Amino acid sequence: MAIVINLDVMMAKRKMSLNELSEKVGITLSNLSILKTGKAKAIRFSTLEEICRVLQCQPGDLMEYRPGEP
């Protein structure tokens, strides 16, 4: 997929674990893990908004477009 998820980068910058983010955002650890590994097919805007609120970032900090990525 040409959309790359950089959630792990933002979590590292904020020194936040997957468990902590999961609790603060209110989504399951497994769903957050699927998103983090780039295996998610979609994300709700409400979830994206909540992740951005908790990590104090912009959606563009979490995702990027890389043409030619498999």
Of the pLDDT bands very low, low, confident and very high (cuts 50, 70, 90), residue 6 is very high
Domain assignment present for residue 70? The answer is no
Domain assignment present for 61: yes
| Position 37 in a domain | yes
How much of the chain exceeds pLDDT 70, in percent?
96
Quick one: pLDDT band at residue 70, thresholds 50, 70, 90?
A: low
SS3 label, residue 63: strand
57 three-class SS: coil
CATH of residue 11's domain is: 1.10.260.40
Residue 68's CB is within 10 A of a number of other CB atoms, namely: 5
pLDDT above 80 for 1 = no
* Count of structural domains within the chain: 1
The residue segments making up the domain with residue 52 are 3-65
Q: What is the pTM of this model?
A: 0.89
Q: How far apart are CA 69 and CA 65, in angstroms?
A: 9
Residue 30 lies inside a defined structural domain of this protein: yes
Q: Is the pLDDT of residue 23 over 60?
A: yes
What's the CA gap between 13 and 30, in Å, rounded? Answer: 21
